[in-house]
Chains A and B, each alone.
Chain A
Amino acid sequence: GEDVEQSLFLSVREGDSSVINCTYTDSSSTYLYWYKQEPGAGLQLLTYIFSNMDMKQDQRLTVLLNKKDKHLSLRIADTQTGDSAIYFCAESMDSSYKLIFGSGTRLLVRP
């Protein structure tokens, strides 16, 4: 069945890079997403990647996709305290409604 897994917690120093990892099981996934949830707020779409891409860069964010290993990562360069949040990986098979979310990775940025 469909499953998306993430580690629960990551702590980094301000200015370092953060790498948040995600694995998924459904090889027919065509869209993969990263959402950010700040304390007390809903989820905000950070970035997404289509399954025919290996990498996508957007300012400080780099998404890497390894389809063979079904592994997705989000790298945040020069991590700031404002990046402290929960990051959710999600997949969908097409642009259909159904998103399958991971359990979320709580990123803590230490000054």
Chain B
Amino acid sequence: DIQMTQSPSSLSASVGARVTITCRASQTITTYLNWYQQKPGKAPKLLIYAASSLQSGVPPRFSGSGSGTDFTLTISSLQPEDFATYYCQQSYNFPPAFGQGTKLEIK
């Protein structure tokens, strides 16, 4: 099975800051990488699919990049509503595992 590792596990940042979260796959997944945002008590929300494609309705301050084994999610200017937990997920092969999550908190 492919293992997905996110870093950092948590981070604190201020409103307006630029933030980057990293996701690494244990083997190549080309660009079969998705990013989700989850707020407490809510279902995950798809942000980015196929490594860099922005899901409809998601603000353009969110962007994704990478291919192969290394990927990043960048939030260009943090807004109060962005404080949440972020998960990456590979959909290259079965089973489509998630990373362990990155909790983004307000500084």
- A and B associate in one complex: no
A residues bordering B, Cβ < 8 Å?
none
B residues bordering A, Cβ < 8 Å?
none
